[in-house]
Chains A and B, each alone.
Chain A
Amino acid sequence: MRLKKVCCCVIAAALLATGLIGCGSEIGGGSKNTVSNQDAAVKTEEASKTKTEVPEETELSGTLKLALWDYDTVGYDKDIVEAFEEKYPNVHVEVLSSANSEYEQKLAVMLAGGDDIDVFIAKQNLALTSLADNGYVYALNDLIERDNLDLSDYGNLIDLHYNIGGEIYGLPYRKNDYVLFYNKDLFDQANLAYPTNDYTWEQLEKDALTLSDPANEIYGMQMIPKMIYYIKCWCGVENGFDVMEDDLATLKKGIEYSMKMQDVDHSIEDYATTKSMNSDQNYFMKGQTGMLYNGSWFIQMLIEGQKEGKFDFNWGVVKAPYWSGTEQATYASSTPVCINAKTKNVDLAWEFLKFYAGEEGAKIMAENYMVPGYMNDEVLAAYLATDGMPGDVADAVTGTATFDIVRTPNLLTNEIQSMIAEEAELAITHNQTVDEAITNMQKRREEILNK
């Protein structure tokens, strides 16, 4: 009787313990080990920097886990993955897709938790520095050397965004030049000449005023209500401006420019209102704004949107405006494809990376109206030949000098950009003066740099 009771208690405790341990590994590990049999010719080593044999094309096999966002909605990622699976029929790509708004957080958690991801797409090149610093990203230098990969077709992107302390941490599969979209119909109505590829912010200010009709809720200019877009516009005030090192008072010109358009000209909707109404890039399709400063990914959205009948006005795109007195340049970001430092399938992941961000992937991106990171004559021809591509697009997205808000990638850039965004937002919403904003920015930058 007594023995029975003791047995029951012990079994209960043991079951509980196993249950908790089982639970624990579920939470920690997340995904079970799905690495299926690797081909004998493909050697993978945990010590990632040793040289391995180059696998033959047909011998590539296995499962590759890819993390990205909006897989089912954007379309071009799916096209590239399917093309890769077609080329290597023994490879299966398992896609882990999340929603756009939560992707960065989810990726950070997955990487920190040691999830079994092989390749992931970072949300933006700014995120790459902290990912690399945390040891999540595989350094590609040895693989690039082994395969003699020619990086010149990536332009200055590699050095601008991917070369962190001498190590190259990814390849860009998407380039996001910032350009100016405009509503041709509204310009026609106001009898204004369309913006050219040589447009300055000062000219934009004048044209926006002419286009605006606040009584009918027509605004000459639209900015997406996120301060980071404004910062990209303001950093062009001085060629080569670096938010980490240079005098932040330089931004004053830009802030005052935006505030004049908002408060005096009323050529752009009040920031606080736009933000609370959440009027993001899709608002341009309503046809009530004359111009929009946005990234080149929007070209694809406009073409698809017009096909689907979301809007029917005529639109055009030109290079982004530049500040009069400076050399023409536009902000460009790129979207990195990276290999997880902890991957067990280095060679498979590397072949996938080369495909995704290389010529094959670039051609597929071009067919989907997206500007790829890799650009040579063939890719450019494919881009221009794509059905439904407006004639002015090629000029708008190619051949412009690009800049970033810092001259070299830096760990603290994200935090400093957020801080500048906070203080500038307070100024734009009249919660503090522009001078106060600049002073606070400088003070807080000191604090962050000394942390």
Chain B
Amino acid sequence: MFHKQEKRSRAIVRRNRRTAYLFLLPNMMGFLIFTFFPVLFAFILSFADWNGVGKITFVGLNNFLKLFKDSSFRVSFRNTLIYTVGTVPIIMVLSIALAILMNKGIKALPIFRAAYFFPYICSIVAISVVWQFLYHPTQGPINQVLMALGVDNPPRWVSSSKWALPSVMIISIWKNMGYYMVVYLAGLQGIPSSLYEAARIDGAGTWKRIRHVTLPLLTPTTFYASIMCMITSFQVFTTIYTMTQGGPGRSTSVLVYLIYNEAFVNFRFGYASAISFILFLCIFTVTLIQFRGQKKWVNYMS
């Protein structure tokens, strides 16, 4: 009697499990075909030489040894680091500030919110064209304003190998802060107003309230935002491709641009795969550190 019941319940569990797997099947197929197998293939390619159409010849660690001798790789790696370190903190700070301001219920709030979010959804090509004009060394509005203010030799922006990367970083910050502002706005909604009242009663001013109530309770959002921001900034490509094509010289060449160049312009798919593998390791390490560190600084309100 008991056996039969157990058998039936096991059969039901099995059937439910099978149904569950069948529901998951479409998603898994998509993941396997479009993500997992290509990544696996790229990983295998990083140990080989392939020009995209001929034979795949295995060369072991050769690609990785070449990497470290390649000045283009060093330059791209350095540029990517500068880009990440330069944009991520600024985007975080600006988006928190904007979100806190927006949350105060200023008039015409939806208009401001749309205005700040709009660059994020705008086409990168359109943005490049407009900013190319803005950045023009003599006829662009930015330099005209600077010269009117008395700056004698304003930076030549995208024509200068020193200023090209900061120029692209500025565009990135302007473009992305809208998205994270919206993310933080959502995070701010989760903070109960009773805490603010309590703080106000205790005599805390605006800045103290922000520092001791808002920011600590925003740490889960900050955790999410900082990881996403860092990952995407390591992978920056479209802005570089449309605005500067890695130039002038190699001053805005970043890792993904180098990967694209080596694979699709120089037909060295194996070498490009090796570079992308290094990029993957970097992003993975950084994210791992973030996750480990989360216990120390993220407060989850339970």
Residues of A within 8 A of B (CB): 2, 5, 9, 12-13, 16-17, 20, 24, 105, 108, 111-112, 130, 133-136, 272-273, 275-276, 415, 418, 422-423, 425-426, 429, 431-432, 443-444, 447, 451
CB B71 to nearest CB in A, in angstroms, measures 6
User: Does B138 lie at the interface of the complex (its beta carbon under 8 Å from any beta carbon of A)?
Assistant: yes
* Contact for B136 among A17, A20, A276, A425, CB less than 8 A: A276
Q: Decide: A423 and B22 in contact? CB cutoff 8 A.
A: no
CA distance A120 to B13 in the complex (A): 60
> Inside 8 A of A16's CB, which chain B residues have their CB?
25-26, 29
Going nearest first, the 5 A-B pairs with the smallest beta carbon separation are: A431-B161, A272-B159, A426-B249, A9-B22, A134-B53
Closest chain B residue, CB of each to CB of A108? B264
CA distance A418 to B247 in the complex (A): 12
Q: Decide: A422 and B53 in contact? CB cutoff 8 A.
A: no
> Inside 8 A of A432's CB, which chain B residues have their CB?
161, 249
Q: How many residues of B contact A (CB 8 A)?
A: 37
Q: Decide: B136 and A431 in contact? CB cutoff 8 A.
A: no
CA distance A9 to B158 in the complex (A): 56
With known contacts A9-B22, A426-B248, A444-B71, A136–B53 Cβ distance under 8 A: yes
**Proximity bits, B12-50, A CB within 8 Å = 1, else 0:** 000100010010011001000100000000000000000
With known contacts A133-B51, A134-B53, A276-B132, A423–B249 Cβ distance under 8 A: yes
> Inside 8 A of A425's CB, which chain B residues have their CB?
247-249
Closest chain B residue, CB of each to CB of A437? B249
> Inside 8 A of B251's CB, which chain A residues have their CB?
431
Pairs across A and B, CB under 8 Å, 26 listed? A13-B22, A16-B29, A105-B264, A108-B264, A111-B53, A130-B267, A134-B51, A134-B52, A134-B54, A136-B53, A272-B159, A273-B138, A275-B159, A276-B159, A422-B247, A422-B248, A423-B249, A426-B161, A426-B249, A429-B160, A429-B161, A429-B248, A431-B161, A447-B71, A451-B70, A451-B271
8 other contacts beyond A135-B53, A431-B162, with CB at 8 A cut-off? A20-B29, A20-B33, A112-B53, A272-B156, A272-B159, A422-B249, A431-B249, A451-B268
CA distance A90 to B40 in the complex (A): 48
Q: Decide: B54 and A422 in contact? CB cutoff 8 A.
A: no
* Contact for B70 among A2, A9, A111, A447, CB less than 8 A: A447
> Inside 8 A of A275's CB, which chain B residues have their CB?
159
CA distance A214 to B250 in the complex (A): 32
Most buried by B among A111, A275, A426, A432: A426
User: Does B178 lie at the interface of the complex (its beta carbon under 8 Å from any beta carbon of A)?
Assistant: no
* Contact for B54 among A24, A111, A135, A272, CB less than 8 A: A135
User: Does B66 lie at the interface of the complex (its beta carbon under 8 Å from any beta carbon of A)?
Assistant: yes
Closest chain B residue, CB of each to CB of A425? B248
> Inside 8 A of B25's CB, which chain A residues have their CB?
13, 16
CA distance A415 to B72 in the complex (A): 13
Q: Decide: A273 and B29 in contact? CB cutoff 8 A.
A: no
Closest chain A residue, CB of each to CB of B156? A272
Most buried by A among B15, B69, B265: B265
User: Does B193 lie at the interface of the complex (its beta carbon under 8 Å from any beta carbon of A)?
Assistant: no
Q: Decide: A422 and B29 in contact? CB cutoff 8 A.
A: no
CB B157 to nearest CB in A, in angstroms, measures 10
CA distance A165 to B138 in the complex (A): 50
> Inside 8 A of A111's CB, which chain B residues have their CB?
53
CB B297 to nearest CB in A, in angstroms, measures 41
**Proximity bits, B49-86, A CB within 8 Å = 1, else 0:** 00111100000000000100111100000000000000
> Inside 8 A of B22's CB, which chain A residues have their CB?
9, 12-13
CB B138 to nearest CB in A, in angstroms, measures 7
CA distance A20 to B25 in the complex (A): 13
Q: Decide: A451 and B33 in contact? CB cutoff 8 A.
A: no
* Contact for B19 among A9, A108, A133, CB less than 8 A: A9
Closest chain A residue, CB of each to CB of B22? A9
> Inside 8 A of A17's CB, which chain B residues have their CB?
29
Q: Decide: A415 and B266 in contact? CB cutoff 8 A.
A: yes
CA distance A17 to B156 in the complex (A): 55
> Inside 8 A of B15's CB, which chain A residues have their CB?
2
* Contact for B250 among A13, A422, A447, CB less than 8 A: A422
**Proximity bits, B244-263, A CB within 8 Å = 1, else 0:** 00011111000000000000
> Inside 8 A of A422's CB, which chain B residues have their CB?
247-250
Q: Decide: B29 and A112 in contact? CB cutoff 8 A.
A: no
> Inside 8 A of B138's CB, which chain A residues have their CB?
273
CA distance A276 to B25 in the complex (A): 51
**Proximity bits, B157-172, A CB within 8 Å = 1, else 0:** 0111110000000000
CB B271 to nearest CB in A, in angstroms, measures 8
